[in-house]
Chains A and B, each alone.
Chain A
Amino acid sequence: MAAVATGGTGAESSGSMAAAASKSNVTSFQRRGTRASGTDSGGPRLVSIAGTRPSVRNGQLLVSTGLPALDQLLGGGLAVGTVLLIEEDKYNIYSPLLFKYFLAEGIINGHTLLVASAKEDPADILQELPAPLIEENCKKEFDKDECNRKTPESNIKMKIAWRYQLLPKMEQVKPTSSSRFGHYYDASKRIPQELIEASKWHGFFLPEKISSPLKVEPCSLTLGYIMLLQFIQNIIYEEGFDGSNPQKKQKNILRIGIQNLGSPLWGDDICCTDNCDNSHSLTKFLYVLRGLLRNSLSACIITMPTHLIQNKAVIARVTNLSDTVVGLESFIGSERETNPLYKDYHGLIHIRQIPRLNNLICDESDVKDLAFKLKRKLFTIERLHLPPDLSDTVSRSSKQDLAESAKLLGPGCGMMAGGKKHLDF
Chain B
Amino acid sequence: MLESLLALGGLVLLRDSVEWEGRSLLKALIKKSALCGEQVHILSCEVSEEEFREGFDSYINSRLVYHDLFRDPLNWSKTGEAHPGGPLGALRAMCRRTDPGPVTIALDSLSWLLLHLPCTTLCQTLHALSHQDSCLGDSSPVGQVHVLGLLHEELHGPGPVGALSSLAQTEVTLGGAMDRASAHILCRRPQQCPTHQTHWFSILPDFSLVLQEGPPLELKANPDPHTSLVDPTSHLTFNLHLSKKEREARDSLTLPFQFSSEKQQALLHSRPGQATSHIFYEPDAYDDLDQEDPDDDLDI
Contacts and interface: CB of A to CB of B under 8 A. Distances in A.
Interface of A: 91-93, 96, 118-119, 121, 124, 159-160, 162-163, 165-166, 207, 263-269, 271-274, 305, 307-308, 310, 332-333, 340, 390-391, 393-395, 397-398, 401
A204 to B, nearest CB: 15
Interface string B133-149: 01100000000000000
Interface in B187-201: 188, 191-194, 196
Contact of B119 (A264, A394, A401): A264
Q: What band does the interface of chain B fall in when counting residues whose beta carbon is under 8 Å from A?
A: 20 to 34
B294 interface: no
Contact of A160 (B158, B193, B255): B255
B88 interface: no
Given A308-B159, A391-B230, A92 B267 contact: no
Contacts of A91: 188, 193-194
A393 B120 contact: no
B118 A269 contact: yes
Contacts of B166: 92, 263, 305, 308
Nearest to A271: B163
8 contacts: A267-B120, A305-B166, A308-B166, A310-B159, A390-B230, A393-B230, A394-B228, A395-B225
B232 A93 contact: no
Interface string B223-236: 00110101010110
Contacts of B188: 91
Given A159-B255, A264-B124, A305-B166, A272 B159 contact: yes
B157 interface: yes
Contacts of A274: 157, 159
Contacts of A305: 166
Contacts of B230: 390-391, 393-394
Nearest to A310: B159
B191 A397 contact: no
B127 interface: yes
A148 B123 CA distance: 46
Contacts of B127: 119, 207, 265
Interface string B118-130: 1110011001100
Contact of A332 (B120, B157, B193): B193
Which of A118, A265, A267, A393 is most buried by chain B, counting CB atoms within 10 A of its CB?
A265
List 10 tightest A-B contacts by C-beta distance, closest first.
A264-B123, A272-B119, A398-B225, A264-B120, A272-B159, A310-B159, A264-B163, A308-B162, A391-B232, A269-B120
B73 interface: no
B194 A333 contact: yes
Given A393-B234, A398-B225, 4 more contacts: A92-B166, A308-B163, A393-B230, A394-B230
B226 A272 contact: no
Contacts of A162: 264, 268
Given A265-B124, A395-B225, A272 B255 contact: no
Given A267-B124, A308-B159, A397 B226 contact: no
A310 B128 CA distance: 25
Contact of A263 (B160, B163, B234, B267): B163
Contacts of B120: 264-269, 272
A362 to B, nearest CB: 32
Contacts of A207: 124, 127-128, 135
B193 A93 contact: yes
Contact of B196 (A118, A333, A340, A394): A333
Given A308-B166, A340-B226, A395-B225, A271 B124 contact: no
Q: Which of B120, B191, B255 is packed against the most chain A CB atoms within 10 Å?
A: B120
A340 B119 CA distance: 40
B262 to A, nearest CB: 13
A264 B228 CA distance: 48
A159 B191 CA distance: 49
Contacts of A166: 268
Contacts of B228: 394-395, 398
A267 B166 CA distance: 15
Nearest to A97: B191
Nearest to A391: B232
Contacts of B119: 264, 269, 272-273
Nearest to B162: A308
Contacts of B235: 393
Contacts of A159: 255
A269 B159 CA distance: 9
Interface in B155-171: 157-160, 162-163, 166-167
A93 B192 CA distance: 7
Interface string B49-91: 0000000000000000000000000000000000000000000
A179 B264 CA distance: 38
A102 to B, nearest CB: 17
B4 to A, nearest CB: 18
Nearest to A222: B120
A119 B127 CA distance: 8
Determine which residue in A93, A118, A333, A401 has the highest number of CB atoms from chain B within 10 A of its CB, and name it. A93
A93 B163 contact: no
A310 B160 CA distance: 10
A395 B225 CA distance: 9
Given A268-B120, A272-B119, A332-B193, A398 B159 contact: no
A186 B160 CA distance: 37
B119 to A, nearest CB: 4
Contacts of B255: 159-160
Contacts of B167: 264-265
Contacts of B128: 207
Contacts of A119: 127
